[in-house]
Amino acid sequence: MTPDEPTRGRTAANGTAANGTAADGTASEGTTRNGATLNLTTPGGLAQRPLVFAHRGSSAAFAEHTRAAYLQALADGADGVECDVHLTRDQHVVLLHDANLDRTSDGTGPVAERTLRELRQLDFSSWKGARIPETYGARSEQLLTLPELLDVLRGAGRPVKLAIELKHPSPYQLKLEDRVLEVLRSEGWDPGSSTVDNVAVTFMSFSPDSVRHLLQSVPAQYICQLVDDLTVHEIRGGLGLGLITGGAVANLMKATQLEGERILDAGLVGLAGPGIDYVRERPDTIRQWLEAGRRFRVWTVDSAEDVALCRELGIQEVTTNVPARVLSQLQVAPSQGR
């Protein structure tokens, strides 16, 4: 038996769209990266501006994944928001990036070992040092479940996109995917259109197993295979593990990356989710996937240079910690559900 969702917290205020002048940009006919020429203009040579997703909310302004961060994202005019999800011990879907509590709360230990009630006792916002306006909720209201995020987005007063990243490895394995879909169905999610009221939902993971499992229940066009530009040497060094153990883990992660690339090569999903470093370093792969009709959601795009690159290449979606700044650079108001 799965638990009922708890009583919801504060109802979201309407988000205020960022002001701007709509304008189509002209893409370069021959953009060169690493010696390869990308010829990626849309028909007629005009590139629509990318949709802008707020990465864990407006996470440069407020603590990531908090009510304040998501309300600020709506006020910033973001076309959509991104979230990472984990399961609690009592099977609630909560919005957190890390499997452990240490970095983004005053708690410690695995998220999976705490009940939702226990998590509610922790502080998930003060570490950022940003004062939260009263209209964005009290400190005790900042941790969000997936249904609570949907409530926030329902209050936007306009179409909003939601990108859900399923985090692996998870102690609950693919039960994470099943529980997320179960919660969405209870909220009125329509699998055919992948919408809940005004919210258009897509699913993402670095895990090919997660992606293949989702394909059993979700149309391919709403699934994004995430990929990163990894080398065994970089992974081993970043993990700080010994030569043998670190090498084994690094090889496993590299194998996961290669399997994700095979999924995109085969066209099993409609969305490709490379990091911005991947876009810079692998122009031939980017061209191949774009020409094959993959839709791109590139992360994490914060600098003016990276925003310009993505627009120049015809990238359709970008994820950023600073949506207001990116939208200002793109000089357009939020899309109405493109």
**Which of the residues are catalytic?**
55, 97
Give, in order, the Cα–Cα distances in Å from 138 to each of 10, 131, 150, 277: 9, 11, 18, 37
Which residue is associated with the tokens 């040579």? 45
Instruction: Please state, in angstroms and rounded to a whole number, the distance separating the CA atoms of residues 18 and 7.
Output: 32
124-131 contacts: CB < 8 A, separation 24 or more?
124/63, 124/65, 124/66, 125/62, 125/63, 125/66, 125/68, 126/63, 127/63, 127/103, 128/62, 128/63, 128/64, 130/61, 130/62, 130/63, 130/68
Instruction: Please state, in angstroms and rounded to a whole number, the distance separating the CA atoms of residues 300 and 306.
Output: 9
